[in-house]
Chain A
Amino acid sequence: MKRRWTRRRITEDLMKAWMLSSFVIVAGCLGLILWTVVSRGLPALTWEMVSQTPKGGFYMGKEGGVLNAIIGSLYLASGGTFLALLISLPIALYLKTYLGKSNWGHYVRLSLDVLWGIPSIVYGAFGFILMLALGLRASLLAGIVVLGLIELPIMVRAMDEVIRRMPADLEHAALALGSTRLEVALNVVSRQMLPGIITAVLLAFGRGIGDAASVLFTAGYTDRIPTSLMQPTASLPLAVFFQLSTPYPAVQQRGYASAVILTIIVLLISLGSRWISARLNKYTIK
């Protein structure tokens, strides 16, 4: 029963080595990115950075912070995610409940996959043209609409994958009690799949809050915190971009600090939604 170097064993060892090195590469990249951002940004991450809007000369190294971009990004991403959720949940439930494995379902999924792959700058350009056609200026509203469009395919496809894994037994149990298909979707499918739906929303939110290209044209940039949907707004990804492209090392450092803030926001929201979904998870059938 001695272990020998058979072909099967070599294959397994090779595959294992491949998987392990993939993991090391990914984990290493993530570690490096975090290290770069944190090590350069942390010295500039002061209370002033997160509690003040830019003062005169901020982009040349004078006083102020990026509160405008923090608030702007939260507005943009929450608005976009909410808008996308309003449209995505019915699409995902409709796909599951009424289209199923039909051809139509196939085409809808295909077009969503294509939409997912379109670069966000294209969405930005599209939003820009739409704005011009409607006679709007760069504004929080336009930014929210474009982010909503970007998040939509991600959210629907992520929800769809989760909802398709719904156990058929459960659906049948509800149908056997005389439920309509809609009642099954609303009372049983969405309840059972709630943790997965929250993950889908989170995924979309992450994409929304991190996107720079689409909001560049549509939401603009300003040093003030917007007080209405029609005003332009700053966002963290653009704050990072503008500060990193200045020639002043102090400002560049603030750019990294802004990136740290963005990362922390995403982290907090991930942890928060995980906590919520764990609590809502109580009744799901495993």
Chain B
Amino acid sequence: MEAHIQVRNLNAYYGKTQALKNINIEIPRRQITVIMGPSGCGKTTLLKTFNRFLELNDGASVTGEVLVDEQDIYAKDVDVTEVRKRVGLLAQRPAPLPMSIYENVAYGLHIHQMRKGKLEYKEAVKHYLEVAGLWDEVKKRLHEPATGLSIGQQQRLCLARGLAIEPEIILGDEPTSALDPISSQHIEKKLLELKSQYTTVVVTHTLRQAKRLADYAIFMYLGEVVEAGPAHAIFTNPQQERTRAYLEGLF
């Protein structure tokens, strides 16, 4: 497997509490990697180090390296906006921007100056709404507020908005946990469709979802990576006792 993200000796702290302990993992390119583990095990914290979101928490700090295509995103001369352009995030709850549906998708294109002229914008917005499977539902109401959409539609809008800036990596922080079952299915289906083009990392606390999505799986417990490997191997034949216990639903 070819690694897209390499994590080396990564430690993360909230104030004095250590949330991640010496993490060393590799995330394969153009596959879905699922990070699982019980609440408070540090899975979301690990995900947040991939787009440098952890530093938005007051008092959070990181040591070690996160390499995207062999380049350390924590190096001093790195532009954090460039990192976040390359590494998109699908949050737990959809957070549409206070704009119309159209502007929500066009926003990223606009700030990164990725298109020129109205026509190019229109085409791009249409394209990414189609990719996210939302176009048919919103094509007649593009200029209405994004808040008028259902929460499932909002999450697909957030997906379209994130894809529009052409990231290489998609992070999903429990992206279906706020959604109803049908909307969750929509999002899962999209992630599976898109995995041939994007490196995807999804945090989930539902084991069944992990099994449906994962090509590669990482199990975390108390801030440490207990086991990581191809999903099939982890789910059928875990090497560690703690992984086995988790998969059997003991905690």
Contact = CB atoms under 8 A, between A and B. Distances in A.
Interface of A: 101, 167, 169-170, 172-180, 183, 187-188, 191-192, 282-286
B84 A187 contact: no
B209 interface: no
Contacts of B51: 176
Interface in B19-64: 51, 53, 56, 58
Contacts of B192: none
B111 A284 contact: no
B99 A283 contact: yes
Given A101-B58, A176-B162, A178-B81, A170 B108 contact: no
Given A282-B145, A283-B147, 17 more contacts: A170-B97, A172-B56, A173-B91, A173-B95, A173-B96, A174-B97, A174-B107, A176-B89, A178-B83, A178-B84, A178-B85, A180-B81, A183-B111, A187-B97, A188-B98, A191-B99, A285-B95
Contacts of A286: 147
Contacts of A176: 51, 53, 84, 88-89, 91, 162
A180 B111 CA distance: 9
Contact of A177 (B53, B56, B107, B145): B107
A275 to B, nearest CB: 19
Contacts of B107: 174, 177, 187
A284 B145 CA distance: 8
B97 A169 contact: no
Contact of B162 (A177, A179, A180, A285): A177
Among B56, B81, B97, B145, find the residue whose CB has the most chain A CB atoms closer than 10 A: B97
B99 A178 contact: no
16 contacts: A172-B56, A172-B95, A175-B56, A175-B84, A176-B88, A177-B84, A177-B85, A177-B88, A177-B108, A177-B161, A177-B165, A187-B111, A188-B97, A191-B98, A285-B96, A285-B97
Contacts of A173: 91, 95-97, 158
Nearest to A180: B81
B242 to A, nearest CB: 32
B82 interface: yes
A99 to B, nearest CB: 13
B91 A177 contact: no
B149 to A, nearest CB: 12
A179 B81 contact: yes
Nearest to A169: B95
Contacts of B91: 169, 172-173, 176
B112 interface: yes
Nearest to A179: B111
A174 B98 CA distance: 10
Given A178-B85, A178-B112, A283 B95 contact: no
Contacts of A101: 58
B93 interface: yes
